[in-house]
């Protein structure tokens, strides 16, 4: 038998973990949408606009005679890397400024660092440090968000898929998309 204090502690841990991982999003507004019951833990009133990722929603058993979980409970999962790639792409057209790390102008490693900060992860500031942090990734296995190093580690960009990177290349060139093979690739890292 689980005590009331243990249930409360478990609820808080589940909610805190979900929020920390970005698994639950809450829109403004007091309206309640649904109640979710987790056996052995309890029932929760979910505010309107709350979404749970499929891997969480699928853990909640369906009660006999009830309809399947509403579509609001099946939000697509977005990786940290994809969120960083999306953030970097939102800065296309921003000016290149040596030593700049956003939010309005960038150098190559400043764009990488800023984009990952928007995704909730701190990465090193310089291209050389970015080229040696994280986990090594084979170029043939790139995923959106992987940090690609060029020119012996002196330049970095973020892989966005389709054989392209987003990067802040040099003065007089704004943040832009470029083919991965337009520069000599040195390696890639995943954070």
Q: Are 114 and 159 in contact (CB under 8 A)?
A: no
Lowest mean pLDDT among 32-46, 51-65, 157-171: 51-65
Per-residue pLDDT band for 19 (boundaries 50, 70, 90) equals very low
What's the 3-state SS for 12-48? HHHHHHHHHCCCCECCCCCCEEEEEEECCCEEEEEEC
| Marked catalytic residue, from 108, 115, 166, 168 | 108
Closest C-alpha to 112, from 175, 155, 158: 158
| Marked catalytic residue, from 91, 155, 176, 189 | 155
Residues 6+ apart with CB under 8 A from 82: 144, 145
| Marked catalytic residue, from 83, 91, 167, 176 | 167
Q: Please report the pLDDT score of residue 29 as a whole number.
A: 41
CA distance 39 to 60: 8
pTM above 0.85, yes or no: no
CA distance 154 to 175: 17
Segment 99-127 mean pLDDT: 97
Let me know if 123 is a catalytic residue: no
What CATH topology corresponds to 80-190?
Answer: endopeptidase fold (from Nostoc punctiforme) (3.90.1720)
Domain ranges of the chain: 4-73, 80-190
CA distance 114 to 138: 24
Residue 155 has φ and ψ, to the nearest 5°, of -145, 140
pLDDT tens digits, residue range 63-82? Answer: 555 555 555 545 577 899 99
Let me know if 167 is a catalytic residue: yes
Let me know if 155 is a catalytic residue: yes
């Amino acid at each position: 038998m689980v005590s009331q204090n243990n249930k409360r502690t478990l609820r808080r841990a589940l909610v805190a973990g979900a929020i920390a991982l970005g698994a639950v999003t809450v829109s403004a507004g007091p309206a309640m949408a649904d109640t979710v019951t987790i056996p052995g833990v309890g029932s929760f009133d979910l505010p309107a606009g709350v979404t749970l990722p499929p891997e969480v929603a699928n853990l909640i058993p369906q009660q006999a005679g009830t309809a399947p979980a509403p579509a609001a409970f099946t939000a697509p999962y977005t990786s940290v890397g994809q969120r960083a790639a999306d953030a970097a792409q939102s800065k296309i057209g921003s000016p290149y400024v040596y030593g700049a790390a956003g939010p309005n102008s960038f150098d190559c490693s400043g764009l990488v660092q800023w984009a990952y900060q928007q995704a909730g992860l701190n990465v090193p500031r310089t291209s050389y440090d970015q080229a040696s942090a994280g986990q090594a990734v084979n170029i043939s296995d790139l995923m959106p968000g992987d940090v690609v190093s060029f020119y012996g580690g002196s330049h970095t960009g973020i892989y966005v898929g389709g054989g392209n990177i987003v990067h802040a290349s040099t003065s007089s060139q704004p943040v832009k998309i470029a083919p991965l093979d337009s520069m000599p690739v040195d390696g890639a890292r995943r954070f």
